[in-house]
Chain A
Amino acid sequence: MAQTLYEKYGGFKTISRVVMSFYEMALESDQIGDYFEDIDMPRLIDHQTKFVSSLIGGPASFSDDRIKAVHSHLNITHADFDEMAALFGEALEMHGVSAQDIQTALGAIENKRSIIVVRHAA
């Protein structure tokens, strides 16, 4: 079985740092920060932890249906999605993930674009 990024970068040790960085960046971002504004902190952290873990092969996975269900009412645009992917890439880079592995992780996100972004949004 191929080694996941999760194993390669030391599991929870790295996840926790990426989650914290990503959480801060997402809230700071004027593009996507508003989506998170009214969510209380523990719930938002929970969301980010699962998000990061599942993307780099840690102990979480979501069905596409579930991802679609939780995002559908948010009217997420392609620009939002791009920003989120960019921030996630940055967070990974900050914690020493190689450029190639970041591409892999971003590829995993890209696969979900069609179920996260609303169809009519520009």
Chain B
Amino acid sequence: MSIHAINEQLLRAIGVGVAIVRASDLKFVFHNGPFSEWFGTPEKKQTLLDLIPDLDLRELDDVKQSGLRYSVELQIKPKRRTLVFAVTVSLTNELSDQLLIVECQNITRIRELESMIDSYSTMVERNTRELEREKERVERLLLNVMPRAVYEEFKTFGVVTPQLYKEVSVVMLDFVGFTDFAAKTDPTVTLSELNDIFTAFDRIVEQFGCERIKTIGDAYLAVSGMPDATPDHATSVAHCAVRFLRYLERRNESHPHKWQARIGLGMGAAVGSVVGIQKYVYDVFGPAVNTAARLQVFANPMHIVAPEEMKYALIDEFQVSDIGRVAIKGMGDMDLINVTSGLSVTQGSGRI
């Protein structure tokens, strides 16, 4: 077999559509199988433009003169499916006649896949955005039940290690006669009252850099000094405590129900951790918490009671008076103090 024959065989065998036309009149000299399959079999009189009308005649002239290639992407629709071709026309001068070589690559599948990937990635991106929003919602929810530092640990390690904080202060508040109120009032009213008050408390707590740990029914528990240590934890909780009471006093002036609360403060060590696996609750335990809880029970309505150890921390900013030694259930004899706001002595001394 001659080289010529081999070449021709090759041209017929490849999957690329190949046609050779005379440059002068664009009539066909040669075409292979794929070409005629896509564009039809050229008859004697037909030119390249009869079979592929989308080719630009001026561009073809340009190829003849400059010898530069002309590449174009064409679509044909033999049946219902749109076929896409990359067509390249180039000039050859090696033979006696000037000839144009037309190569047609079927890039239909590539274009189809591109369209599909576009469509698919749009869907995936939209899903991703939705997931992102969902994640933010979950994060906000979790931040409601645990401090941010604890949440970060939980997110990174999947668990929260109980951590001992040596120096924290605790404020615990409980309403007087809440059970009676709840019994004779519509539960939705009770809830909205509590919600209203606790929301205000949350703002106060935030203002003084404390953390609200939880509410148990009508009891409200906040801490200072954990999870981030702070030197003025004692004054922070006391500031919260006096503002809780002042908020209630102000609120009572304009609301039908007059809320009375007792507040106990505590200072000392506490452990903070997430409790539970399915139902996460961030909670604190320890002497500081116990003290605050006990002293709150002991306190008179609208008064703040703290252990004597807190006296020197509070004395500069608050009005502190000694209560003396009192037997506290579960804690033995304790020296206690009464804490009032420095401000309320001058402004509201008539009320005390």
Contacts and interface: CB of A to CB of B under 8 A. Distances in A.
A15 interface: yes
A53 B117 CA distance: 12
A27 B115 contact: no
Nearest to A43: B115
B126 to A, nearest CB: 8
A46 B119 contact: yes
B124 A59 contact: yes
A23 B115 CA distance: 12
A10 interface: no
Contact of A34 (B80, B117, B127): B80
B132 to A, nearest CB: 14
A41 B79 contact: no
A46 B80 contact: no
A78 interface: no
A60 B123 contact: yes
A27 B111 contact: no
Contact of B116 (A16, A28, A34): A16
B120 A23 contact: no
Interface string B93-131: 000000000000000010111011111100110110000
B58 interface: no
B81 interface: yes
A12 B113 CA distance: 12
Given A41-B111, A59-B123, A60-B123, A19 B116 contact: yes
A95 to B, nearest CB: 14
Given A50-B123, A59-B127, A45 B81 contact: no
Of A27, A37, A50, A59, chain B has the most CB atoms within 10 Å of the CB of A59
Contact of B119 (A24, A34, A49): A49
Interface residues of B, number: 19
B82 interface: yes
Contacts of B80: 27-28, 33-34, 36-37
Interface string B243-273: 0000000000000000000000000000000
A33 B111 CA distance: 20
Given A23-B112, A46-B115, A15 B120 contact: yes
A20 B112 contact: yes
B118 A27 contact: no
A37 to B, nearest CB: 5
A46 B82 CA distance: 15
A40 interface: yes
B146 to A, nearest CB: 26
Contacts of A15: 120
A34 B79 CA distance: 10
B119 A45 contact: yes
Given A27-B79, A36-B80, A45 B115 contact: yes
Given A20-B109, A41-B112, A42-B115, 8 more contacts: A16-B116, A28-B80, A28-B81, A33-B79, A36-B80, A42-B118, A42-B119, A46-B118
Interface of A: 12, 15-16, 19-20, 23-24, 27-28, 33-34, 36-37, 40-42, 45-46, 48-50, 53, 58-60
16 contacts: A12-B120, A15-B120, A16-B113, A20-B113, A28-B79, A28-B80, A37-B80, A41-B112, A42-B119, A46-B119, A48-B116, A49-B116, A49-B119, A59-B120, A59-B123, A59-B127
